[in-house]
Structure 1
Amino acid sequence: MSGDDRLQRLADALAGARRSGQALPMAPWLGCLHDADEAYAVQDRVAAALGWFGGTLPCFWKSGGPSRQAVLTHAGLPPAGVQAVAPGQTASLQGQHFHRRGIEAEVALRMRRDVTAGEVAAWAAGTTPPAHELVDAMTVSVEVVDTRWAPPAPDAQDVAWLKLADQQSHGALVFGEWRAFDERDWSRQRCELRIGGAPPQSFEGTHPLGDPTWLLPPWLAHATRGGRTVPAGTVVTTGSWSGLGDAASGDRVEVHFADLGALALQF
């Protein structure tokens, strides 16, 4: 089987899983992907098969990693799963199908201006602009982590590539009211998360990269591959302050970032 056929078979299976709501056993697909580049190629094919972006770049992305030493990963997000919620209102995800309702409290950033592939390439010489020149606004967000892979996941090295091919295990995104971006001491940023009837959890300075804006250059390098331009207004979520919690059907989720905003959603 050619490499192209191999990637297309996986893309067809993942697209079919999204259409049907049926999870895929992972074991038969182990060894299908050889590296992250092939996982990204499958992401693109799934998006094309499901008509997510209409031949343009995604308007919403997720990006992140467990530390600055790790290779960050990225995925464009299906627009139908993105929802804005006004202050004091509750976003409804009731009736939506999820295999998992993983909860990550995040800060999302919005691009101030267009960024070209040529500009990003020049940053390799150490000319990366400060964040306030790239970002005009930020907001509280919650990513719902979901999967098209049936548990249990085998203990194999290429499991991470299969998850990356599945839009980095993305389920849905809810974001709150935008406020002007400001440079701040992210090590002192406080966050509170409450899931269902459990006691609220508090976090301070727990972003895995120390500063959510740190990922802008690697994410933009990925997003501008092939000479593309990331347009002003593009939004990227930047990694979880709260780790990964799990919600159940019927749970209410509340997130509050001090001096940034709050949101609530209902499953």
Structure 2
Amino acid sequence: MLDADSHAVLQTLLRARHQHAGAELTGLVAPADGEQIAAIQDALSAELGWAPRSTATVWKAGAISDGSPVCIPLPETAVRTQNGSYRRGLLPRVGVETEICFRLGRDVSAAEAAAMDDAAVLAAFDALCVSIELVDSRWRIGMDAPEAFKLADHQSHGGLVIGDWVANSAHDWQAIALRVTAGEHGIVAQRGGHPCSRPTWVLPYWLRHVATQAGVARKGCMVTTGSWCGMQWVEPDASGVTVAVSFEGVGSTRVRLYR
């Protein structure tokens, strides 16, 4: 249940979305703990008509600044396939995060998830794809907002662009080459770089979290697993700019961004 401070944060986030204007933090008290943050996320999802946490099929997982893992349900309506388009939200720029997304290949009960080792967890995912998370914020100060406020705002989620699914297989994640371009300009070219050395590190935590919430993690659920190269900021003009991401041996995806 939301306490009074968290209810005020919820109402502020709803106004920001409905009025399409960045919200001020003045007078707001940060959510007290992870339970209140999740309650704000759930209430926001209910108000906006998104799937509740117990039936959500799209998730983001990763670590916040102190290294703690987090799992956040996302709206299915925010998912775009490659070559789609996205218009800038409340921030003056579009944040781009380069990620790998995994898809669960079968139902996994809470009891089974609790007993699985990391290898068994990874084997439960049948496919993966290159993905781009688009970052937006409902707070006027954007990414300078304190962590708890960003988490309440679904960790500043704006949209998720997914590439073609390919069969899940082993990769040398620490040596894999990736490239990010915006229009004609290369903005990232590196090998490896995931902050936790591999994107699969968070999958056991995510699977147990989701299975516990609903009693079972459902086949077809997808989860994106954290940015490889931090936040890349893109400032599209009225004619738009195409952001493309590729991972050697895995695939690619792209999205057209507009002002």
Same fold (TM over 0.5): yes
Q: CA deviation at 1:132?
A: 4.1
* 2:208 matched residue in structure 1: 221
After superposing on structure 2, the runs of 4+ consecutive aligned residues of structure 1 that deviate more than 6 Å are: 152-155
Richer in strand (by share): 2
| Corresponding residue of 2:71 | 74
Q: Is the alpha carbon distance of 1:52 and 1:140 closer, same or farther for their aligned partners in structure 2, counting shifts above 3 Å?
A: same
Partner of 2:56: 58
Q: Secondary structure at the match of 1:187?
A: coil
Structure 2 unaligned runs (5+)? Answer: none
- Summarize the Cα distance change of 1:197–1:25 in structure 2 as closer, same or farther, 3 Å threshold: farther
Distance 1:153 1:234, change over 3 A: closer
Q: Tell me, which stretches of 5 or more residues in structure 1 are unaligned?
A: none
Q: What is the identity, as a one-letter code, of the residue corresponding to 1:258?
A: E
Contact 1:82–1:173 (CA<8 Å) still a contact in 2?
Answer: yes
- Say whether the 8 Å CA contact 1:190–1:257 is kept in structure 2: yes
Is residue 2:8 matched to residue 1:9?
Answer: yes
Would you say how many aligned residue pairs link Structure 1 and Structure 2?
253
1:90-239 superposed matches below 5 A = 90-94=83-87, 97-99=89-91, 100-123=93-116, 127-151=117-141, 159-239=146-226
Pairs within 5 Å for 1:19-58: 19-29=18-28, 31-53=29-51, 56-58=54-56
The normalised TM-score by structure 2 is 0.89
Shift of 1:131: 4.3
RMSD: 2.3
Kept after mapping to 2: 8 A contact 1:26/1:153: no
Q: Which amino acid aligns with 2:133?
A: E
CA–CA distance in 2 between the matches of 1:153 and 1:242?
16
1:152-201 superposed Cα distances (whole Å, 9 cap, x missing partner): 7768xxx1111101001100010010000001211111110012443342
Stretch of structure 1 that moved more, 138-147 or 187-196 = 187-196
Q: Distance in 1 between matches of 2:53 and 2:39?
A: 14
* TM-score between the two structures when normalised by the length of structure 1: 0.86
Amino acid at match of 1:261: G
